[in-house]
Structure 1
Amino acid sequence: MKNRKTNKLKIINDPIYGFITIPNSLIFDIIEHPYFQRLRRVTQMGLSNMVYPGANHTRFHHAIGCMHLMQKAVQVLRNKDINISDEEANALYVAILLHDIGHGAFSHALEHSIVSGVSHEEISLKFMHALNKEFNGQLSLAIEIFEGKYHRKFLYQLISSQLDIDRLDYLKRDSFYTGVTEGNISSDRLIAMMNVVKDQLVIEEKGIYSVEQFIIARRLMYWQVYLHKTGLVAENTLVNVLKRAKELAIKGVELPAGKALKYFLYNPISEDNFTDTILKIFAELDDYDVMSAIKEWVHHDDFVLSSLAKMIIHRNLFKIEIQNEPFEETYINKIYKKVTENSIIKTADLSYFVLSNKIKHQAYNTNEPIKIYTKKGKLKDIAKASDQLNLRALTKPVIKYYLCYPKKTQLV
């Protein structure tokens, strides 16, 4: 029986964009690779589904969507006589496809708990280099663009800037899956208005209102979705569960967990020792490992670990207060006292149960401006080109302070 050839020019049906085509066999083979397939098991929005039940889409969804939008962007720019070679176009598709491949389980939770000093961007780059070896150097240009080292800067801006392809997909996608319509940007319109002037990615003047809507949508999505108070509590609780597990593991306490998670719990992981061997173990670690371990930890003898694990599994989360000014130390101490007097929580473990921190978001950063290309051939920062007064206000960072602590019913 003859081997049947695999059809590598597949079509994927996406709920947002409809049919997405895979442009060539290299892209197909990267998507088929186990490193990329892991993204099917990493949620795009962490524990946001505790607030928005529909937010169960994955990093895989997002990466494929980005690749699709990048194909559109390349076509638009080529139609405007911007010279982009086939090699450069393909490098853009690879770079945007792999831009999030280094995200750990539940996105940012691992970065703040069991892996220290290594960001998901650095891990993404490690994955890219590993794949480049496997694919005999075919990813070299993609890596050069991803790192911002390629001489044509606008290609890097398509990957990473204030109006990049990544943001155009995640705002629209997260809006769709959460049902928060305020984030539903017109990615098609924004891409159609793209151009390149003096090696800079710009938006033509007639697209100014779409850019305004994009910046305002980003602000609304951050405060309404990404930094939602219940989502913050869930994320902090997850980080603390993993921190506690790591603390116990270092002391030699036996913890039920899958092989990959166990390795990261029982070994110190940092930028210095993040070898190719560790990368392979990291590639086996996903949301399923973390959640199945947390389900087991509900029954653990350690009070702190089991209490925090129960909060996540049963969605019985801390109370949270948010305000514009830092919480006074006397108020925090009052909460500490209340918690220790009414429960069996030890003073040494209070940091796991009373959390105080701040959140910061800047909807638009004038240091990396979105440039509007006027009909007179001038380049203007959107903040100055726009007659929308709100836009100037959005250039200022907004800082809020939060305090989480157990509800009365959680004090035992």
Structure 2
Amino acid sequence: MTKPPYGLLEEEKVFKDPVHRYIHVRDELIWELIGTKEFQRLRRIRQLGTTYVTFHGAEHTRFNHSLGVYEITKRILEVFKGRPGWDEKDRLLALSAALLHDVGHGPFSHSFEKVFDTDHEEWTREIVLGDTEVNKVLSHVSPTFPKEVADVIEKTSPNKLVTSMISSQIDADRMDYLQRDAYYTGVSYGHFDMERILRVMRPTEDQVVIKQSGMHAVEDYIMSRYQMYWQVYFHPVTRSAEVILTKILKRAKELSDQGYDFKQKPNHFYSFFDGKGSLEDYLRLDEAITMYYFQIWQDEEDRILSDLCVRFLNRHLFKYVEFNPNLRMNDWPILQDLFRQADLNPDYYLVIDSSSDLPYDFYRPGEEEERLPIHLVMPNGKLRELSRESDVVEAISGKKRTDHKLYFPLDCLEDEREHKEVKQKIRDILNV
């Protein structure tokens, strides 16, 4: 007998949440998706990667965040219900895309992607469309439903309104992670009046817009995002840990390519070392597995791999100085050569890391990437782009800020038992 389409649960399920107080689930579809092994895997993937080495409370997961994005989307839909521009038949599409938008993240997401040239958005698509429990649940809604969900997450859906709810300059994703990350890191920057923003959101055919009376709440949201990026997400200590993590994975791959005989063979990584990782291989990876290998690799005979793992696990991080490669082009090759003379491989122990952010922007003709602006609904019903009304937003609109740091092991340079003169030259150039 064919199972009937998903309806409502007999009894509402509730998750206690420190950010939203409660997360409510009434739809069978959402409850089934939460129970899939692909979604449960997100419990083993931290939301903020290496940030926990700087802010010790940042141990929350992609699972926490995904539930939060679902809850905010559900609240937006409650505001939209019955309003012109919103079609209630899109409700499950919006909720499913919100819940699954990060399901493709891997261990220490961005570091892993950087080394193995993968993209979590591509893995999300494979999970939604491939031979997975998630796909089986979605397919029960309709044969085309998994593709509709994937298209929203990928921002290729013709349903621009639902897409903007999940991915735009003011969306459920950002509204959750700013508040959640602020809560778990213990900072005050990420707080803004979300309830006010939700009350003034309105649906249009192409995107979510904001009533003009809610402009100041949106200003506060944008400034919160700006502060979180520079005070938390781009924190130089967190970036130091990420640099070392990236170099561990790079070294392990390089050794594997050279036929190195690991004491503990990294079976979970071999297919990615070869650039042939399958979805099954990817889903077997989480941060517990990754940390297990780092523990084992501390005892490897390869001096670089061992040292980097010891540093990462025991928080013996690289130091940093301001270093703009565009302004110090002559210093860079000199430093690389001096590091080699000091028996420090510059590929692993001398790293430039740059971070940049564009807090708010709107489409400018001739630019490669179109950024959907935030529009205000004026009292006369017309739309007006946010920075045209807000002096605060206009002041930062289109202004990209970039920060360059040079990371290196200061402890090695201070150990003068060998290469004393060379190390002193390095310290002089770096002014440390």
**CA 71–399 in structure 1, closer or farther in 2 if over 3 Å, else same:** same
Quote how far apart the aligned CAs of 1:410 are. Answer: 6.3
Q: Distance in 2 between matches of 1:251 and 1:39?
A: 33
**Which letter does structure 2 place at the counterpart of 1:364?**
Y
Quote how far apart the aligned CAs of 1:82 are. Answer: 4.0
1:119-163, CA deviations, whole angstroms, 9 ceiling, x for partnerless residues? 111111111112464233534332343344444311110111111
1:199-245, CA deviations, whole angstroms, 9 ceiling, x for partnerless residues? 33101111101111111111111111111101111111101100110
Task: Tell me whether 161-170 or 151-160 shows the greater mean CA deviation.
Answer: 151-160
Q: Pairwise CA RMSD of aligned residues?
A: 2.1
Which residue matches 1:69?
72
* Counterpart pick for 2:50 among 35, 47, 51: 47
* Counterpart pick for 2:400 among 391, 397, 403: 397
Quote how far apart the aligned CAs of 1:84 are. Answer: 2.5
Residues 202, 373 of structure 1: 8 Å contact kept = yes
Which residue matches 1:317?
317
Quote how far apart the aligned CAs of 1:260 are. Answer: 2.5
Which residue matches 1:359?
355
Q: Which runs of 4+ in 1 moved over 6 A?
A: none
Q: Distance in 1 between matches of 2:209 and 2:287?
A: 38
SS state of the match for residue 285, structure 2?
coil
Which residue matches 1:332?
332
Quote how far apart the aligned CAs of 1:409 are. Answer: 4.3
So what's the TM-score if we normalise by structure 1?
0.89
Query: Any residues of structure 2 matched to 1:78-227 within 5 Å, and which?
Result: 78-85=81-88, 87-113=89-115, 115-116=116-117, 118-130=118-130, 131=132, 133-135=135-137, 136=139, 138=141, 139-140=145-146, 141-227=148-234
**Which letter does structure 1 place at the counterpart of 2:153?**
F
Q: Distance in 2 between matches of 1:151 and 1:123?
A: 21
**CA 355–71 in structure 1, closer or farther in 2 if over 3 Å, else same:** same
Q: Distance in 2 between matches of 1:137 and 1:320?
A: 52
Residues 258, 289 of structure 1: 8 Å contact kept = no
SS state of the match for residue 391, structure 2?
coil
Q: Distance in 2 between matches of 1:92 and 1:64?
A: 13
1:248 aligns with 2:255: yes
1:377 aligns with 2:381: yes
1:259-279, CA deviations, whole angstroms, 9 ceiling, x for partnerless residues? 4234433x323xxxx6xxx10
**Which letter does structure 1 place at the counterpart of 2:269?**
L
**CA 252–229 in structure 1, closer or farther in 2 if over 3 Å, else same:** same
SS state of the match for residue 21, structure 1?
strand
**CA 410–316 in structure 1, closer or farther in 2 if over 3 Å, else same:** farther
Residues 43, 59 of structure 1: 8 Å contact kept = yes
**Which letter does structure 1 place at the counterpart of 2:61?**
T
Quote how far apart the aligned CAs of 1:19 are. Answer: 1.7
1:333-378, CA deviations, whole angstroms, 9 ceiling, x for partnerless residues? 4433553444x32xxx311110124221100121221111111222
Aligned residue pairs total 391
**Which letter does structure 2 place at the counterpart of 1:142?**
V
Which residue matches 2:5?
none
Quote how far apart the aligned CAs of 1:26 are. Answer: 1.6
1:305 aligns with 2:305: yes
Which residue matches 2:291?
291
Which residue matches 2:429?
none
Quote how far apart the aligned CAs of 1:76 are. Answer: 0.5
SS state of the match for residue 13, structure 1?
strand
SS state of the match for residue 300, structure 2?
coil
SS state of the match for residue 109, structure 1?
helix
SS state of the match for residue 81, structure 2?
helix
Which residue matches 1:260?
268
Residues 84, 203 of structure 2: 8 Å contact kept = no
**Which letter does structure 2 place at the counterpart of 1:375?**
P
Structure 2: state its 5+ residue gaps.
1-8, 364-371, 416-432
1:76-127, CA deviations, whole angstroms, 9 ceiling, x for partnerless residues? 1115344332x411111111111111111012111011x22x3111111111
**Which letter does structure 2 place at the counterpart of 1:120?**
H
Percent identity over the alignment is 29
Q: Distance in 2 between matches of 1:258 and 1:75?
A: 48
SS state of the match for residue 54, structure 1?
coil
**CA 351–150 in structure 1, closer or farther in 2 if over 3 Å, else same:** closer
Residues 257, 289 of structure 1: 8 Å contact kept = no
Which residue matches 2:422?
none
